[in-house]
Copies of this chain bind each other. A is one copy, B any other.
Amino acid sequence: MTRQPPTLEDVAREAGVSRATVSRVINGIRNVDPAIQDVVRGVIERTGYTPNSAARSLVTRRAETIALVVAGAGDDGSGDSGGEGTAFAAQVFADPFFGRVVDGVITFLRPRSMHPVLMFAESSAARREVVAYLRQGRADGALIFSTHAEDPLPALLAAEGLPCVLFARPGDAAPVSYVDLAHQDGGRLAAEHLLDRGCRQIATVTGPLSLPAAQDRLTGFRDAVARRGHPCVPFAEGGFTHDSGAAATARLLREHPGIDGLFAANDLMAQGACQVLREHGKRVPQDVAVVGFDDSATARACRPRLTTVRQPMEDMAATMARVLQEHIEGARTEPTSVIFEPRLVVRESA
């Protein structure tokens, strides 16, 4: 029979004051006699008292928790496909990109003693679960990372008036805040670097073109190249995965064996591209220069090390958390957007 943990009541009795006073001391509210404060703090220390957070949330209506949701495709119009986990998680975390996101989020949350709950919204059942979670007050808001455009989740949340902030501009112009990168500028940076290096036949492996981000990187790249006198750029669509990058590069090479410069829309694909190039007897960067995107851990780990367009993921994620917090506190009522600038990191591949 382990004894019940002490409550506010216990502390109050022990300290010879009222619950209200103890509560004030705990929440750092002014107007409490310093002497009493000491007594109370002493009792708290001695008893090892910890406030019960359910009781507190019940009255403050705050969970001090936010949902960190990774949203994917999957529209299984069906009802609740129920249980079973999801290789989706492993897939998402395979791109080290997400580690930097978590890092940025934690940096903001920790000093405010808020905490992130990890959620996946890859099916309509899972999306409903996210909405329910917030409506139950288990989280005060959501940070959403969609791997596909046309994600229905933001609109669902907006319709319920639940605070949320997206990573990347929503496809359907839902009225929600978002943080994004100037992807076109990123594409331009890559193009100019390849051009400046003297590449004459350049091509690009894009991300899924249903994603605005992938579109924009392509557009920025293409425009910059056109501005330098190359009217059309061969491209092949990939899926932001290692294997899709390799496959796309193989296709590109079949049509255009003379390529000497390649821009892959993320590092994973750039790595796949380098491998295929090598298999085709091309040296990187001597025969073909390759530029990636993101600057994820893999960019430094592979050989040659990747020259890449870096997104300041940590800052972007922390900013998302900050904006979300403003919405939660009511300090901000209208949706806003914050756009970050990418920068080129030159290593060995180009």
Contact = CB atoms under 8 A, between A and B. Distances in A.
A115 B118 CA distance: 7
Contacts of A77: none
A182 to B, nearest CB: 23
Contacts of A272: 301
Contact of A50 (B103, B136, B271): B136
A53 B111 contact: no
A107 interface: yes
Given A85-B107, A111-B83, A135 B90 contact: no
A184 B314 CA distance: 38
A135 B54 contact: no
A94 interface: yes
Q: How large is the interface on A (under 10, 10 to 19, 20 to 34, 35 or more residues)?
A: 35 or more
A90 B115 contact: no
Query: Copy number in this complex?
Result: 2
A132 interface: yes
Interface in A86-135: 86-94, 96, 98-100, 102-104, 106-108, 110-111, 113, 115-120, 129, 132-133, 135
Contact of A102 (B93, B271, B302): B93
Contacts of A93: 93, 96, 98-100, 102
B99 A86 contact: no
Q: Is the interface of A mostly helix, strand, loop or mixed?
A: helix
Contacts of A138: 53, 65, 115
Contacts of A58: 52, 54-55, 58
A82 B68 contact: no
Interface string A278-309: 10000000000000000001000111000000
Contacts of A137: 52-54
A276 B309 CA distance: 26
Nearest to A91: B99
Most chain-B CB neighbours within 10 Å: which of A68, A98, A102, A117? A102
Contacts of A106: 85-86, 89, 118, 120
A84 interface: yes
Contact of A85 (B5, B103, B119): B103
A111 B86 CA distance: 12
Contacts of A302: 302
Interface in A251-283: 268, 271-272, 275, 278
Interface string A36-76: 00000000000000111111011000010100100000000
A99 B107 contact: no
A55 B120 CA distance: 25
A107 to B, nearest CB: 3
A242 interface: yes
Contacts of A78: none
Contacts of A107: 84-86
A86 B115 contact: no
A161 interface: yes
A162 to B, nearest CB: 11
